[in-house]
Amino acid sequence: MLKMSDQLCKLFVGGLNVDTDSNGLRKHFEQYGTLTDCIVIVNKHLQRSRCFGFVTYSTPEEADTAMKARPHTIDGNAVELKRAVVREDANKPEALAKVKKIFVGGLKDDIEEEHLIRHFSQYGDVEKAEVISEKETGKKRGFGFVFFVEHDAANKAVIVKFHNISGHKVEVKKALTNKMQVLWGWSTFILRFIPQYFPLFLRFSSFLFQFITFSLSLFTYFSQFVLYFLFSKPIRRCEVSILI
């Protein structure tokens, strides 16, 4: 398992050519630094590339060099290069959010905006920082925000979940807009709950369809019965075919 410091050295490579193997991936990315690991993920059953992989550099600076060299083209494919997220966060929809703003929680009263700027500048250029206070009293609320110039800097900063600023442990995560939170919330609901209830939905749909079909047939016979007595003569039975 990678340490958080090592995680800064690991990059995700997506959109690979199906013929690109680990050797081809290594050949391309080793020009930006020393690789400690390089792998193209393969479908074990089909023995075929899943068209993505990971490269891990010996230092975060080498990984930064590869990121700054974007875009990359390998075997004719324009590939996507981005920071690899830790395994436990990989299935979280918010991990895919592309933002420049991060939330910083657990701030003590002695932490000012300049402290945030100084600390987070190690991950990339910082546009500004805010420490949130009560409007009426001016009392600090214990959290703030950091605005980076580029998305990659924000991605790097949140890989390390807990930071030490002025001797205090603080927590960081991506700052999502209300619209994004609603979107990710629905995405989480769909990914977690729909699959387990889908079979039940199919069974209910089948029952509902059979009920509607039976009701239509019953209505047809009842209508013929009423017409027969209204006009005192038999009505030729109408055949209604329902395509299933």
Tell me the mean pLDDT in the region 150-157. Answer: 94
Q: What is the DSSP string of the chain?
A: ---HHHHTTEEEEES--TT--HHHHHHHHGGGS-EEEEEEEEETTTTEEEEEEEEEESSHHHHHHHHHT-SEEETTEEEEEEEPPPGGGTT-GGGG---SEEEEE---TT--HHHHHHHHGGGS-EEEEEEEE-TTT--EEEEEEEEESSHHHHHHHHHS-EEEETTEEEEEEE---HHHHHHHHHHHHHHHTHHHHHHHHHHHHHHHHHHHHHHHHHHHHHHHHHHHHHHTS--PPPP-----
Return the CATH superfamily for domain 95-186.
RRM (RNA recognition motif) domain (3.30.70.330)
Residue 186's pLDDT band, with cuts at 50, 70 and 90, is low
- Residues 110-151: pLDDT tens digits? 999 999 999 999 999 999 999 999 999 999 999 999 999 999
- Residues 85-95: pLDDT tens digits? 887 776 666 67
CATH of 4-84 given 3.30.70.1880, 3.40.50.300, 3.30.1950.10, 3.30.70.330: 3.30.70.330
